[in-house]
Amino acid sequence: MAKSVAKPAEKISEEKTKATTTVETIEPVVIPAPVDHGKDEIEISIERKLVALYTLQQNDSKIDRIKIVRGELPLEVEDLEDDVAGLETRIDNYINEISVMEKQVADKYQAIKESQGLIKRYEEQQNNVRNNREYDALTKEIEFQSLEIQLSEKRIREFNAQLTMSKEEIENAQHDLGDRRNDLEAKRSELTDIVCETELEEKELNHKSELQQKMIEERLLIAYKRIRKNARNGLAVVSVERDACGGCFSFIPPQRQLDIKLHKKIIVCEFCGRILIDKELADSLS
């Protein structure tokens, strides 16, 4: 059997000291607790979206006001331009009709001349006939040519009546055309003056609107444009005024108003579908 060898006391004490020193030199690793910033970031993000949408709305509303100043002038100018073009076309059609009818009248006069020439020839031939059958045949030809002359004269009278009516229509149309052209020039001049006054401002606002739209995500921008299109006053983003929607003036419950102020999500009016923001945020952006 193997015999155990006893270690001296000093040696044992020295080994214990080394072991203790080794344990003390190991530093504890501290893992920091995760910090949840998600909630704050979401709230800030929603608030930024609301700010961007309301700023875009304010800009677009200024553009709308410029268009209101112009009123119905652009449409009136377009209507007058259509009227002028229509009258010019009508006059051209009448002129073409007159040209055709004048040619038809000339053709009928020529037909009358030819018929008169044939009648004269048939009458001369009647003096040299050899029997009654030839005489009767010539008589029928003379009667036929006489009827042709009467028919041509009737057509000439009809064409002349139509010519008279067409010429009267041309005079009336030309008179109306003169009035429409004068109105058009006056409306164009008025519209030009208004456009000159607001053109620079409108260009700047349109440029700002394009830049602002780039800052808004596509989904929200599509919804904004759809709401604006359906809204009579062009307002897609409105603030809460006196506990009511600033667009349709429907009452908003207190709890919903609180949700709007918290900026945790985008909230729309239950009645008109407009995007709602709180009055404090709206006032800070005005």
CB 285 within 8 A of CB 266: no
Q: Residue 44: its pLDDT value, please?
A: 52
Radius of gyration of the chain from Cα atoms? Answer: 49
Strand arrangement, sheet containing 267-268 = 244-245, 237-241, 275-277, 267-268
Q: Residue 193: its pLDDT value, please?
A: 84
Q: Residue 24: its pLDDT value, please?
A: 35
Neighbouring residues of 183: CB distance < 8 A, sequence distance ≥ 6? 80
The pair of structure tokens assigned to 233 is: 């006053």
Q: Give the whole-angstrom CA distance, residue 195 versus residue 205.
A: 14
Q: Residue 26: its pLDDT value, please?
A: 30
Q: Residue 23: its pLDDT value, please?
A: 33
Q: What are phi and psi of 215, to 5 degrees?
A: -85, -5
pTM for this model (two decimals): 0.51
pLDDT per residue rounded down to tens, the chain (286 residues): 444 444 444 444 444 444 433 333 333 333 333 334 344 444 458 888 889 999 999 999 998 888 887 777 888 899 999 999 999 999 999 999 999 999 999 999 999 999 999 999 999 998 888 888 989 999 999 999 999 999 999 999 999 999 999 999 999 999 999 999 999 999 999 888 888 877 888 888 888 888 888 888 888 899 999 999 888 888 999 999 999 999 999 999 999 999 999 888 889 999 899 999 999 988 888 7
CB 221 within 8 A of CB 266: no
- 3 state SS of 237: strand
CB 99 within 8 A of CB 136: no
Q: Give the whole-angstrom CA distance, residue 57 versus residue 227.
A: 11
The structural domains of the chain, ordered by start, are 71-214 (1.10.287.1490), 217-285 (no CATH)
CB 251 within 8 A of CB 272: no
Closest CA to 245 of 224, 275, 220, 286: 275
* Helix, strand, coil fractions of the chain, as percent rounded to 5: 75, 5, 20
